[in-house]
Amino acid sequence: MFEQQLENLYQDLAYKLALQGKISCYPNPAVGCLIVKDQQIISLGFHKFAGTAHAERAAVLSLKERYPETWQDLIKGATAYVTLEPCAHFGRTPPCANLLADCQVKKVVYLSADSTDKVNGKGVAILERAGIQVEFVPSAKCEKLNQDFFALQQQERELPFIKIKIGASLDSKVALPNGNSKWITSPEARSYVQGLRWQADAILASAKTVIVDKAKYNLRYAEFPQIIQEHLAPEEVISPKLVLLDNSQQLTGSEEVFAHHKREDIVIVSCQPHPLASAKEFAPSKFISGFDSHKPEQLKEILKQLKALGINNLLVETGSSLTNALIENRLFDQLHYFMAPKVLGSGLEALRQEVEQTQIADCLQLNLLYSQELSEDNLYLVYAK
């Protein structure tokens, strides 16, 4: 019983390590590694940033740094707990499976399979050929943690991978009746949102949100999560495209948002040809007309058009109307919900479905992928449909 409790503890710690790198390791999967010998944790690591050490190598390097003379003796015969099958290919870093084999660990326990062509059992094969015992202990939460990574590997996807971001109070309000919404969520939550923007190929919003809320949708390096700042210089930041749905052709070009985005990064979608399309200033921008985003079938077609533009990872940050339309029509993959312990009472609701259900069984049931406490006053929940 005690040994099983220890196993569960090691696996849970490896998962928590992986979670630490989720916001910064994109486009790579989040992975954590724990190295144990004689029931003692001798090292740990997680993948922090693409191009840097993977979790297994980070754990080995940490051990080597702390015990430069004896690290090889310490790791020999140890057990490595890894949240994802060790990689088997040479990329920007060498294969982790070979590293563990060279270190002569006794056993590797991995908690989720890697179905990508570059791995898919190849890491296990390398370890087994080296005489290392390999055990697969399927962990639903480790698999869920990288749902977006594996979905983005699917070349045949019809739509982008769509993440909807909501920041709301405990009673699911995004603003007071007078429109005041600054700030419901904490600085830590807003920093994490900067990380989500940095990951995205594009941000989707409505013209109404841009006009009413004066939203900028810009990347603010000073607010980036510290773990990203440690590995990325300001000049290396690539801003996502900005997609604006403007059915009523309300945008005039004078909105504040346009001061924060290059014209070539702007996509405007409207029912009729947009007046800005003929403006010289917006010549580099992309205009898509003939689609009414208020109609579900046309909203889906807009998303297909965005995928055709090379937008694979789409972050939705907008008002409740578009958010609810996407959710009601199941046009999303993940819901990123930042919950603050505030009760606003009356105000603008974050989620409101237009179609009234009469049976609980007919309601949309979301699946919790993972959660984090970003601060004492903000809970971050990620759901899948």
Q: In this predicted model, what pLDDT tens digit does every residue of 267-282 receive, in sequence order?
A: 999 999 999 999 999 9
What's the Cα-to-Cα distance from 208 to each of 145, 180, 200, rounded to whole Å?
33, 16, 21
Residue 325 counted as an annotated binding residue: yes
- What is the CATH architecture of 1-145? 3-Layer(aba) Sandwich (3.40)
pLDDT for residue 378: 85
Does the annotation flag 186 for ligand binding?
no
Q: Annotated binding residue at 167?
A: yes
CB under 8 Å, gap of 24 or more: what pairs does 63-68 form? 63/35
Which ranges in the chain belong to alpha helices (H)?
2-20, 55-66, 71-75, 96-102, 122-129, 140-145, 147-152, 187-199, 207-212, 226-229, 296-308, 320-328
Query: Is 265 a known ligand-binding residue?
Result: no
- What is the rounded CA–CA span in Å between residue 229 and residue 237? 10
The answer to whether 344 is a known ligand-binding residue is no
Q: pLDDT digit string (tens) for 291-325?
A: 999 999 999 999 999 999 999 999 999 988 999 99
Closest CA to 41 of 11, 18, 83: 11
> What span, in angstroms and rounded, lies between the C-alpha atoms of 268 and 105?
55
Q: What is the pLDDT of residue 68?
A: 96
**Residue of 3, 56, 128, 188 with catalytic role:** 56
CB 108 within 8 A of CB 100: yes
Q: Is 198 annotated as a binding residue?
A: no
Instruction: Give yes or no for a cis peptide into 71 (omega within 30° of 0).
Output: no
C-alpha to C-alpha distances, 277 to 23, 71, 267, 274, 332, nearest whole angstrom: 36, 63, 10, 5, 29
Cα torsion 247, 249, 252, 257 to 10°: value is 0
pLDDT of residue 302: 97
Q: What confidence score (pLDDT) does residue 178 get? A: 84
| Per-residue model confidence as pLDDT tens digits over 149-170 | 999 998 789 999 999 999 999 9
In the CATH scheme, what is the homologous superfamily, with its name and number, of domain 157-384? Dihydrofolate Reductase, subunit A (3.40.430.10)
Catalytic annotation on 297? no
- 3-state SS class at 233: coil
Which parts of the chain sit beneath pLDDT 50? none
Map tokens 């297909």 to a residue: 304
Q: How far is CA 38 from its chain centroid?
A: 36
Pick from 51, 369, 15: which is nearest to 228 by CA? 51
**Looking at residue 59, what is its pLDDT?**
99
pTM: 0.92
pLDDT of residue 376: 77
Sequence-ordered list of residues with C-beta below 8 angstroms from that of 212, at least 6 positions apart, any chain: 179, 319
Q: What ranges do the domains of the chain cover?
A: 1-145, 157-384
Burial 105-139 (b: 16+ CB within 10 A, else e): bebbbbbbbbeeeebeebbbebbeebebebeeeeb
**∠ CA 108-112-114 to the nearest 5 degrees?**
95
CA distance 258 to 240: 13
Q: What is the distance, to the nearest Å, from the Cα of residue 266 to the centroid of all Cα atoms in its chain?
A: 22
